[in-house]
Structure formats: C-alpha cells, structure tokens
Amino acid sequence: MSHWPGRFAGKHVIVTGAANGIGAATARRFLDEGATLSVIDLAADDLAQVFPEPDAAGLFAQAGDCTDAPTLAAFHAEAVSRFGPVDVLFNNVGQSGRERSAPFVDSREEVWRFVVEVSLFSAMRMARLVAPTMRGRGGRIVNMSSDAAFVGDAGLADYAAAKMGVVGFTRALARELAPHEVTVNAVAPGAVRTKAHERLSPEVLARIVAGTPAGFIATPRDVAAAVAFLASDEARFITGQTLLIDGGRWMS
C-alpha cells in the first residue's frame, strides 16, 4: 500500500484498540504519514510490541480498558495535555462475543451487553470527548462498523446489532457536526486476516473465501488505507457514509 508522507503532519490522531490487526496497521500508517499519535488498548503486551517506545516524540501509548468511561476520559485528557486537541479520531476498538458467541436463542444477555459496550458505547464515549473541541476547529471521526451488520451473519445477532448501531450513530453525528467542518464516517470490513482468523479452521476459512466475490481475505492494511483516506483532507466532502471493505460480500 502506498503512503503519502506528511499527509497528517501537524495532526493529532487518536486510535483505539491499536495493539493488533486493523488498529495497529492504521496507527502505523498515521505515524508513517506524519501524524502525532495517541493510542490505547487493553492488551498491554501486544501494545508494547507494536509501540516499543510508548513515550517517543509524537507518540503516546497507554494500556487501558476502552469499555471503562473514566479510563477513556483520563486517556483523552493525557493525550490532549501532550499534543493538543484531537484532529482525527479512529474509533477502532470492538469485537464479537468470540468464543461466547451463540445462536440468538442460546445467547446470554451478559454477552450482548459486553458486545454493545465495546463495539458501540466505546465509540460514542470517545466521540463525546473529542467532539466539543472539534466543533470549534474542524476534524475527522472514523468509526468501525462491520459488514456483519449488513449481511446479518448467523450467531452474531448482538454484534450485528451493535455494528448497525455504529452506522446510525455515524449518520446522526455527521449531520450534527457537518456545519462545523467535522466529517463523521464509518468503515465496515468483511473478512480481514487478523489474530481472530488464526483460530479458524481451514474449512471455515475456505467457506469465507468462497463467499467473497473478490476471492481472497483482506489484510489490515487494506482497511488502514480506507481509514486514512476518510481521515484526510481529500475526503472533506464525504460525511455520514459507511464504506464496506469486504471484497463484494455485500453490495448495496
């Protein structure tokens, strides 16, 4: 993937869930394109591997639980104290119930609540922290949805609901902030080769590929490229949109 050196020079970018997969790839891309970067993730060891110098010039990395509102508030306050107001927020953090996922009739409310907390509420809380300042100076918010919200994958009712909630939140917030030169968009990836995919059997992976018209599984860098575009000045006239990055699995 080609980079645009200096595209985010002078911009303070926050990425949540930056220790692995799409979050890590996107965070590295923002750094490579000149951004000042603040990142947070619960996986402290993985975060340290991706960002071995967490207090390097232009970088602030903190381990923390993105489902905890006080933790997010403290992280945001520290990031702003170091680098000033946030220009770009990528609300990446989120996940399904994973091993606790089940057909809806067998699912448990405690899992629903976790999935909604990490996939929707975290984005709303983080956006609430940055939006007041962005209203006065402009900015970019990119939220993480999923093509599961559109396709409606069996066994992922809670995840699909949370991720479609992200779509609705994106549209409403985009309308509110558009007069203030703030764009709000979402990306909705399909099959992406991350750690979660390492736990899938070859048979399951083969079915995923067979169900993807493009005929292959994406890499995190494919999503990072789209996020970087939506966060850039080139996308200033795009807002309230959800970009599916799924090799054609869902075509609207």
User: What is the C-alpha separation between 61 and 30, in angstroms, rounded?
Assistant: 14
User: What is the C-alpha separation between 23 and 20, in angstroms, rounded?
Assistant: 6
Q: Which are the contacts of 237, defined by CB distance < 8 A and separation ≥ 6?
A: none
Q: Which sign, positive or negative, has the C-alpha torsion 207, 210, 212, 216?
A: positive
Which DSSP letter does residue 17 get? S
Let me know if 67 is a catalytic residue: no
Give backbone dihedrals phi and psi of 80, rounded to 5 degrees, phi first. Answer: -70, -40
Give backbone dihedrals phi and psi of 238, rounded to 5 degrees, phi first. Answer: -115, 120
User: What is the C-alpha separation between 251 and 54, in angstroms, rounded?
Assistant: 40
From its phi and psi, is residue 152 left (phi > 0), alpha (psi between -120 and 50) or beta? left
Catalytic residue among 159, 160, 183, 239: 159
Identify which of 221, 122, 106, 220 has the alpha carbon closest to the alpha carbon of residue 156.
Answer: 106
Q: Which are the contacts of 106, defined by CB distance < 8 A and separation ≥ 6?
A: none
Q: Which residues are known catalytic residues?
A: 159
